Structure 1
Amino acid sequence: MMPEGVALGDLERDALTEIVNIGVSRAASNLRKMIGDHVILSVPSIDVVSQQRAARLITEREATDLIAVRQDFTGPFSGRALLIFPEANSLELVRAVTRGELSPEEVIEIEREALVETGNVILNSCLATMANLLKSSLSMTIPEVLRGSGAMLFEVDGAEPSDGLVLFLYIDFAVRRLDIRGYIAMIMDLPALETLRALLDDFIARVVGDDA
């Protein structure tokens, strides 16, 4: 069961979706410079779910192995950010980042390095934009690449149920006419999510005040 009061209100969800979309737009601009071709990123939906539910959602959607870039972040709200792809999509993204100039063997060899760089661009753009628009600052760790199931990525392999919550964002990629789907997930505990909600409410009050 989700704790009462955790679900975002409509205004909070709309504000967070807008903020994240600004972040991924900046990420798309940075990726465009890396790839040398048009990149479109969008976040059509955001949900707040338990870690167990997040693991089930991604397992239901993706039958193949998953690969993720993970970074921890600390600040007024702290947690762990994940950029997740089906493994086949990750190789397509690497081919796009390397501009299709490498052999399949070479793509596999540099996959980790290219994913770290891509993940760093996307996650940093999203989190830095969130922090900036919410009048906060966040510090991030060096990214690392993980492979495994949804349960492993969302840390629900153990017997004890985890009490963390996940901001689960579905993202659409269009890179070099390739459709590359992926996910951004931010794992936070309840106090961190409540802090984020308070910052969102302050952001909404500023925007409404400007529009009034």
Structure 2
Amino acid sequence: MIPESVALAELERDALTEIVNIGVSRAASNLRKMIGDQVTLSVPAIDVVSQRRAARLISEREVAELVAVRQDFAGPFSGRALLIFPESNSLELVRAVTGDALNAQEVVDMEQEALTETGNVILNSCLATMANMLKRSLTMTIPEVLRGNGATLFEIDDASAADGLVLFLYIDFAVRNRDIRGYIAMIMDIPSLEVLKELLDEFIARVVGTDG
């Protein structure tokens, strides 16, 4: 069960979806410069779920091994952001970033660097936009690449993981003529999610104003 204090009301979910969509549209613009081709990113769904549920949601959709770019963030709300791809998509992404100029071995050799750069662009755009629109600041660590299944990425290994909640965002990636899809997950503890909820309420009050 998701605690009442962090469950998102419909208006809060709408506000967060709008904020994150602005973030991913900025990411798409930056990726387009990197790739030199049309990139569209959208976030059709956002939910707060347990780490176990997040791992299960991804495992139900993706049978292959997963690759993730991880970046930790700290500020009024803190946590860990993950940009997650099926492994097959990650190599396709490298081909997109490098303009199909590499042979198969070179694609594998370049994968880590290309994923780190892509993750940096997307996660930074999302987190920086969230911080900016909520009128707060966040610091972010250097991204790193992880591999494994849903349980590995969400660190489901002992009872302590039961505390963690995940702000789970499905992303539709479309790079012209390429089949690439991904997910963003932000793992936060209850105090951080409570702060995020308060900041969303402040954001809604600013946007709606006193006559809303």
Same fold (TM over 0.5): yes
Q: What per-residue deviation string (whole Å, max 9, x for no partner) do you get for residues 35-89 of structure 1?
A: 0111000000001000011011111110000000000000000000000000001
The answer on whether the counterparts of 1:169 and 1:185 sit within 8 Å (CA) in structure 2 is yes
C-alpha distance in structure 1 between counterparts of 2:100 and 2:158, whole Å: 40
Provide the residue aligned with 1:206 in structure 2: 206
C-alpha distance in structure 1 between counterparts of 2:108 and 2:72, whole Å: 26
Number of aligned residue pairs: give it. 212
Structure 2 residue identity aligned to 1:15: A
Matched, 1:135 2:144: no
Structure 1 residue identity aligned to 2:37: D
Q: How far off is 1:7 after superposition?
A: 1.4
C-alpha distance in structure 2 between counterparts of 1:96 and 1:28, whole Å: 13
Provide the residue aligned with 1:48 in structure 2: 48
Q: 5+ residue gaps in structure 1?
A: none
The answer on whether the counterparts of 1:41 and 1:174 sit within 8 Å (CA) in structure 2 is yes
The answer on whether the counterparts of 1:166 and 1:186 sit within 8 Å (CA) in structure 2 is yes
Structure 1 residue identity aligned to 2:139: S
Quote the RMSD (CA, aligned, Å): 1.2
The answer on whether the counterparts of 2:5 and 2:194 sit within 8 Å (CA) in structure 1 is no
Provide the residue aligned with 2:172 in structure 1: 172
C-alpha distance in structure 2 between counterparts of 1:112 and 1:145, whole Å: 7
Provide the residue aligned with 2:106 in structure 1: 106
Q: How far off is 1:176 after superposition?
A: 2.6
Provide the residue aligned with 1:87 in structure 2: 87
TM-score for the superposition, normalised by structure 2: 0.97
Relative distance call for 1:191 and 1:160 in structure 2 (3 A) is: closer
The answer on whether the counterparts of 2:2 and 2:48 sit within 8 Å (CA) in structure 1 is no
C-alpha distance in structure 1 between counterparts of 2:187 and 2:123, whole Å: 13
Relative distance call for 1:61 and 1:209 in structure 2 (3 A) is: same
Structure 2 residue identity aligned to 1:6: V
Q: What per-residue deviation string (whole Å, max 9, x for no partner) do you get for residues 92-114 of structure 1?
A: 11110001111111000010000
Relative distance call for 1:106 and 1:60 in structure 2 (3 A) is: same
Percent sequence identity over matched residues? 78
Provide the residue aligned with 2:121 in structure 1: 121
Structure 2 residue identity aligned to 1:145: V
Structure 2 residue identity aligned to 1:16: L
Q: 5+ residue gaps in structure 2?
A: none
Look up the SS of the partner of 2:208 in the other structure. helix
Further displaced range: 191-200 or 155-164: 155-164
Structure 2 residue identity aligned to 1:79: G
Provide the residue aligned with 1:38 in structure 2: 38
C-alpha distance in structure 2 between counterparts of 1:204 and 1:9, whole Å: 12
C-alpha distance in structure 2 between counterparts of 1:34 and 1:162, whole Å: 39
Runs of 4 or more, structure 1, over 3 Å off, are none
Q: How far off is 1:159 after superposition?
A: 5.0
